[in-house]
């Protein structure tokens, strides 16, 4: 289900928003934590619980950056990135992973992605 922080009643501290951020993850707690943290920093946030939702949201929401979980049911983060690139969409994409990059044998992010960050790193910053 797609949501924006304005639909959830979040109050932005900065006006206008600094950036439009789309977050795609199948873990509700991750969506809530990242979405809240980014909204507190003044960003406009939309969340998606599946890769297909994220792909459909990009041309409508027009995010400045997409944060997408590498391992989701359905389309993975890399498949989302590949689909966006094949559609000619050049929005920056940051892949989120449960494991550090060295632990993901045989899987490296495509060169068109900005970065891979671990979910534990993102979550520990807010605790």
Residues 6+ apart with CB under 8 A from 16: none
Say which range, 29-38, 85-94, 112-121, has the weakest mean pLDDT. 112-121
Q: Which domain holds residue 104?
A: 3-126
Count the domains in the chain. Answer: 1
User: H or E stretch including 45?
Assistant: strand 44-48
Distances from the Cα of 88 to the Cα of 48, 58, 60, 80, angstroms: 21, 12, 15, 13
Residues 67-106 as b or e (16 or more Cβ within 10 Å = b): bbbbbbeebbbbbbbebbeeeebebebbbbbeeeeeeeee
Q: Give the tens place of pLDDT for each residue, 3-55.
A: 666 555 554 444 666 899 999 999 999 899 999 999 999 999 999 999 999 99
Q: What is the domain-level CATH number for residue 53?
A: 3.40.50.2300
């Amino acid at each position: 289900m797609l949501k924006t922080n304005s639909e959830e009643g979040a109050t932005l501290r900065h006006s206008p928003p600094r950036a439009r951020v789309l977050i795609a993850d199948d873990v509700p707690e991750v969506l809530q934590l990242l979405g809240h943290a980014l909204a507190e920093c003044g960003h406009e946030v939309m969340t998606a619980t599946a890769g297909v939702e994220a792909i459909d949201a990009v041309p409508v929401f027009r995010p400045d950056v997409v944060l997408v979980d590498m391992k989701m049911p359905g389309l993975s983060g890399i498949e989302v990135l590949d689909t966006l690139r094949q559609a000619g969409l050049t929005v920056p994409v940051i892949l989120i992973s449960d494991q550090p990059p060295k632990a993901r044998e045989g899987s490296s992010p495509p060169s068109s992605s900005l970065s891979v960050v671990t979910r534990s790193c993102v979550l520990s910053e807010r605790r």
